A and B are shown apart, each in its own frame.
Chain A
Amino acid sequence: MSMTRREFARLLGMAGAAGVLPATGFAAKKQPTDLYEVPNSGNVRLLHMTDCHAQLMPVYFREPNVNLGIGQAYGQAPHLVGDKLLNHFGIASGTLEAHAFSYLNFGEAAGRYGKVGGFAHLKTLVKRLRQSYGSENTLLLDGGDTWQGSGTSFKTRGMDMVKATNELGVDYMTGHWEFTYHQEEILNNVKAFNGEFLANNIFVTEDALFDGADEYIYDEDSGHVFKPYSIREIGGARIAVIGQAFPRTKIANPARFIPDWTFDIYDSEMQELVDKVRAEEKVDAVIVISHNGMDVDLAMASRVSGIDVILGGHTHDGMPQPTTVKNKAGQTLVCNVGSNGKFLGVMDLDIRNGKVQGYNYRLMPVFSEILPADAGMAKLIEDIRAPHMDWLSEELALADEVMFRRGNFNGTFDQLICNALMDVNNAQISLSPGFRWGTTVLEGQKITMEHVLDQTCLTYPETYVRPMKGSELKLILEDVADNIFNPEPYLQSGGDMVRVGGFDYICDPLQPIGKRITEMTLDNGERIDANKTYTVSGWATVGAKSDGPIIWDVVAEHLRDKQVARIEKLNTPILKNVADNPGIAGYDKLS
């Protein structure tokens, strides 16, 4: 039911005249034919993508209706949803832009405006934005989470995405899920990548150095595994690009794949590095391509001074404008550009007389039906996918409603996964990680194996079933809740709350660890007892490899059996003390 490109353009043209689209917002400011034309300004154009999670093809992606900000983050970007987000950024509701940036009216609007992203369409947009500006004055930066998230990236160990980003022309990247392959595979991929892979915050461990890691690391004296920064003369300016990989990689993901490397946030070292490149390399601007997550980037920007722009990712926040953070040396712009190939950030910088004088920023939604596919990229994608099409294209069940993940608590697709774990693995309770990747399926669409892989495909996909005490279960929930609701950003890890099946609970995000989760109650109404043992199934264990079947096979088996994917009950918690939070909307379990 989606429109063709011509119909779409016609609709936009008519809408402007007929008043269907209000006369504000970017869709209304321009003629439909120049939706993607950005007036040139400044002398350096940075194109920024992040967290595409290996989505080579166009997808649907629903933005969250729950993205709570606690403490200083209350009511601040990126912790705004729905109308609150639109009002904050001056976006008129009911527009194409409102659809791109918010969850509002998602199913219907997605049906009208069609899919987003897809590397062939993204390539067309990148090419246009480079050529219109003068390609030599542009850079394309990728914040990472590029090599994981699809069946083909899994099968090729991320190499399909290395090829795709080479074809796209990525100049610099950093990483997070890139580190869920084995060390040697990562190094191979980095070698095959035409751009530069930057990370100032990944060091080799001393044990590994002793065991010969000095043979492959970037700098034996500093211990940097990868090049920490790069200098580029561009548009008459000299700029530094620093890479900041996800600092919690070895906590959030299996440490066993990357035993020799260690990650963290090092504010004082970052400050020294910024001061050094400014003093010794005589740069006019310092750019950080970061995978910290937006809250951590905002905090880092306030603690470290001298960075002009942080191009951020990880938390999948599609923010229409950067946040300006004041610090000792002036200010830092912090951007975050969403996920799954849905957006491309365009930052035009005016760099003169040794400093950034001004900027113009646009976050462009990549609507696949408006942007024609680039032939070269389309061919590459077809070649990558061809050997796996039988696997990817199997239709498993009909979606009875919009199936999505993104949000602080269970999305509908998460509930499907939790139900599948209980059903197939024969468990009372199920747990599923609060990842922020995973695409959306519309009501009435067939859920394919590819959709299931979009939600589950990682390199440690084994499921488990094990007895767990009520007290252990609570400990897990408390620990994960603290990873998102701790008011100190450096103590957050950037994921959403663990998804649960088979029981409900009450959550008060404002409490400290140990006190947020109460009244865990099984679906049959029985209160979970701290000392009683329950059968729990889950997947994606980081400590050691589990021995159960692969998660996508579990979900597929469940869906094949059901034929219609229907959510009878969503195990989302009752939330306390957040009813007035601008980071929640359309959520009825509030107390």
Chain B
Amino acid sequence: MSMNRRSVVKAIAAGGALVGASVLMPRIAMAAWTTKAFEAEDQATAMNELLGGAAEESAEVTLKAPDIAENGAVVPVTVRSSMAGVESMSIFVENNPNPLVAEFMIPAGTDADVSTRLRMGKTSKVTAVVKANGKLYSASKEVKVTIGGCGG
């Protein structure tokens, strides 16, 4: 890969020179039927509305998130899966007022690997759900949000 990191970042910013860059804009593709899912106030409802059920934990879903958020307003999260037939990847923050954060559609032939930033008001479990071949798989991790400093 001859492109250096800066060019990659610039390319993304410049409007998606990379295959799969369009997955960075999930809400644009949001269909009317997802509104209920994004507006749901508890995770089970959101998951049910969006994906039609609950997911089973799988080691083939990788969720990368910090143990403690440096800044709750922009918590970096990466979801990856090496499974075949991935159709979508969605992210939930259980303790957010609206737990569903994003759904990424993964077109056939695309690496199932997305990174985004979440806003988190307080410590919460973060769950990534991968839909592959019609089935739901998940991975979760608790991310701590602290007031910071030493309380002084």
A residues apposed to B, CB below 8 Å: 206, 209-210, 214, 220-221, 223, 248, 250-253, 255, 262-265, 431-435, 475-477, 479-480, 482-483, 488, 490-491, 493, 495, 498-499, 513, 538-543
* Cβ B68 vs Cβ A434 within 8 A: no
Residues of B within 8 A of A252 (CB): 148-150
* Cβ A480 vs Cβ B70 within 8 A: no
* Cβ A491 vs Cβ B70 within 8 A: no
Report which of A264, A434, A542 forms a contact with B148, defined as CB distance below 8 A: A542
A253 to B66 CA separation, bound complex (whole angstroms): 18
* Cβ B6 vs Cβ A250 within 8 A: no
In chain A, what residue has the closest Cβ to B70? A250
In chain B, what residue has the closest Cβ to A418? B152
* Cβ B70 vs Cβ A264 within 8 A: yes
In chain B, what residue has the closest Cβ to A222? B5
* Cβ A262 vs Cβ B151 within 8 A: no
* Cβ A210 vs Cβ B10 within 8 A: yes
A251 with B148: in contact, given A210-B6, A214-B6, A491-B67 (CB under 8 Å)?
yes
Residues of A within 8 A of B123 (CB): 513
A214 to B152 CA separation, bound complex (whole angstroms): 35
Residues of B within 8 A of A541 (CB): 149, 152
A482 to B148 CA separation, bound complex (whole angstroms): 11
* Cβ A543 vs Cβ B150 within 8 A: no
> B147 within 8 Å of A by Cβ?
yes
Residues of A within 8 A of B4 (CB): 220-221
* Cβ A539 vs Cβ B68 within 8 A: no
> B135 within 8 Å of A by Cβ?
no
Residues of A within 8 A of B148 (CB): 251-252, 542-543
A206 to B70 CA separation, bound complex (whole angstroms): 15
A491 to B146 CA separation, bound complex (whole angstroms): 10
Residues of A within 8 A of B149 (CB): 251-253, 433, 540-543
Most buried by A among B5, B10, B147, B151: B151
Residues of B within 8 A of A265 (CB): 67
> In the complex, how many angstroms separate the beta carbon of A466 from the nearest chain B beta carbon?
13
* Cβ B151 vs Cβ A264 within 8 A: no
A476 with B70: in contact, given A206-B9, A209-B6, A251-B146 (CB under 8 Å)?
no
> In the complex, how many angstroms separate the beta carbon of A336 from the nearest chain B beta carbon?
20
* Cβ B152 vs Cβ A432 within 8 A: yes
Residues of B within 8 A of A253 (CB): 149
* Cβ B151 vs Cβ A433 within 8 A: yes
In chain B, what residue has the closest Cβ to A463? B152
> In the complex, how many angstroms separate the beta carbon of B116 from the nearest chain A beta carbon?
12
A540 with B6: in contact, given A248-B68, A250-B70, A483-B146 (CB under 8 Å)?
no
* Cβ B71 vs Cβ A250 within 8 A: yes
> B18 within 8 Å of A by Cβ?
no
In chain B, what residue has the closest Cβ to A251? B148
A304 to B151 CA separation, bound complex (whole angstroms): 32
Report which of B5, B13, B144, B151 forms a contact with A220, defined as CB distance below 8 A: B5
Interface residues in B1-19 by Cβ distance below 8 A to A read 4-6, 9-10, 13
A335 to B150 CA separation, bound complex (whole angstroms): 25
Interface residues on B, range: 20 to 34
> In the complex, how many angstroms separate the beta carbon of B77 from the nearest chain A beta carbon?
13
Residues of B within 8 A of A220 (CB): 4-6
* Cβ B71 vs Cβ A255 within 8 A: yes
Residues of A within 8 A of B146 (CB): 251, 479, 482-483, 493
A480 to B147 CA separation, bound complex (whole angstroms): 9
Report which of A223, A251, A479 forms a contact with B151, defined as CB distance below 8 A: A479
Most buried by A among B13, B67, B150: B150
In chain A, what residue has the closest Cβ to B64? A268
In chain A, what residue has the closest Cβ to B123? A513
Residues of B within 8 A of A221 (CB): 4-5
Besides the known contacts A479-B147, A542-B148, 14 further A-B residue pairs in the complex with CB atoms under 8 A apart: A206-B9, A209-B9, A210-B10, A210-B13, A220-B6, A251-B70, A433-B151, A434-B151, A488-B67, A490-B67, A490-B68, A513-B123, A538-B152, A540-B152
In chain A, what residue has the closest Cβ to B115? A206
A385 to B149 CA separation, bound complex (whole angstroms): 30
* Cβ B66 vs Cβ A264 within 8 A: yes
Report which of B68, B147, B152 forms a contact with A475, defined as CB distance below 8 A: B147
A498 with B152: in contact, given A210-B6, A221-B5, A479-B147 (CB under 8 Å)?
yes
In chain A, what residue has the closest Cβ to B66? A264
* Cβ B144 vs Cβ A263 within 8 A: no
Residues of A within 8 A of B70 (CB): 250-251, 255, 262-264
> In the complex, how many angstroms separate the beta carbon of A186 from the nearest chain B beta carbon?
17
* Cβ B9 vs Cβ A210 within 8 A: yes
Top-8 shortest CB links A-B? A433-B150, A498-B151, A433-B152, A542-B149, A480-B151, A250-B70, A540-B152, A538-B152
Residues of A within 8 A of B9 (CB): 206, 209-210
> In the complex, how many angstroms separate the beta carbon of A471 from the nearest chain B beta carbon?
13
> In the complex, how many angstroms separate the beta carbon of A381 from the nearest chain B beta carbon?
29
Interface residues in B70-99 by Cβ distance below 8 A to A read 70-71
> In the complex, how many angstroms separate the beta carbon of A124 from the nearest chain B beta carbon?
35
A494 to B127 CA separation, bound complex (whole angstroms): 28
In chain A, what residue has the closest Cβ to B151? A498
> In the complex, how many angstroms separate the beta carbon of B29 from the nearest chain A beta carbon?
23
A543 to B71 CA separation, bound complex (whole angstroms): 11
Most buried by A among B4, B6, B151, B152: B152
A476 with B151: in contact, given A214-B6, A248-B68 (CB under 8 Å)?
yes
A212 to B9 CA separation, bound complex (whole angstroms): 12
> In the complex, how many angstroms separate the beta carbon of B102 from the nearest chain A beta carbon?
18
* Cβ A477 vs Cβ B151 within 8 A: yes
A206 to B71 CA separation, bound complex (whole angstroms): 15
Q: What are 23 A-B pairs at a CB distance below 8 A?
A: A206-B9, A221-B4, A221-B5, A248-B68, A251-B68, A251-B146, A253-B149, A264-B66, A264-B70, A433-B149, A433-B151, A434-B150, A434-B151, A476-B147, A479-B146, A479-B147, A490-B67, A493-B68, A493-B146, A499-B152, A538-B152, A540-B149, A543-B149
A255 to B68 CA separation, bound complex (whole angstroms): 14
> In the complex, how many angstroms separate the beta carbon of A476 from the nearest chain B beta carbon?
5
In chain B, what residue has the closest Cβ to A542? B149
